[in-house]
Chains A and B, each alone.
Chain A
Amino acid sequence: GAVVSQHPSWVICKSGTSVKIECRSLDFQATTMFWYRQFPKQSLMLMATSNEGSKATYEQGVEKDKFLINHASLTLSTLTVTSAHPEDSSFYICSARDSQGGSEQYFGPGTRLTVT
């Protein structure tokens, strides 16, 4: 149980284009999902907390107009990186908390984004 999927697993895009990443909880409902970014050899950085049916809460320093988050259902949250630039190249990972469970966060496998 507690499986979270992400799609795509990797993506290469040109500078200036937008990329959408999907995060799905496969066997549980997730009122709350989280989006993280991780640069090589660095620790996880929380970008935003996504709540179903409401606006996401962004961490300080994260541009909400650049990283658009939509959590339209209890099993799906999406992150859209708009007007991507090479410095946005990173490993993007989502996690989800089971609405019927405890405080554990279950992570998706991550999406590796490369902007050329």
Chain B
Amino acid sequence: QKEVEQNSGPLSVPEGAIASLNCTYSDRGSQSFFWYRQYSGKSPELIMSIYSNGDKEDGRFTAQLNKASQYVSLLIRDSQPSDSATYLCAVKQGGSEKLVFGKGTKLTVNP
């Protein structure tokens, strides 16, 4: 069973802090990795994609990928209350169009 694992949380951080979200995956053939944000009652929104080892930064968000450890993370700097949402890690496995989603980590940023 090819899986994507995330801590379900909830993860609670104070406003202005760094939120760190982690994800592991089981399929070594995975090629593409994504982070989605889902507000309650809404559909997922793509916030980051990463394809190669290392860090990728976009504004307050940094995605980190380590294929050897089968690990991908998302850092949110200067967290804001508006960042409070469930963050979904998604992995595209080799040879498939489908994304495998983790169950999500619920983040709460406290003012």
Contacts and interface: CB of A to CB of B under 8 A. Distances in A.
B71 interface: no
Given A43-B101, A43-B103, A43-B104, A103 B32 contact: yes
Contacts, number: 48
Interface of A: 2, 32, 34, 43-44, 46, 49, 91, 93, 97, 102-110
Given A43-B104, A102-B49, A104-B49, A34 B44 contact: no
A2 B34 CA distance: 15
A106 B43 CA distance: 10
B17 interface: no
Contacts of A105: 34, 46, 90, 99
Interface of B: 31-32, 34, 36, 42-46, 49, 51, 88, 90, 92, 97-99, 101-104
Given A104-B46, A108-B43, A109-B42, 13 more contacts: A32-B97, A34-B97, A43-B88, A46-B99, A49-B98, A91-B43, A93-B43, A97-B97, A103-B31, A103-B32, A103-B49, A103-B92, A105-B90
A38 B36 CA distance: 15
27 contacts: A32-B97, A34-B97, A43-B88, A43-B101, A43-B104, A44-B44, A44-B101, A46-B99, A49-B98, A93-B43, A93-B44, A102-B49, A102-B51, A103-B31, A103-B49, A104-B34, A104-B46, A104-B49, A105-B46, A105-B90, A105-B99, A107-B43, A107-B44, A108-B43, A109-B42, A109-B43, A110-B42
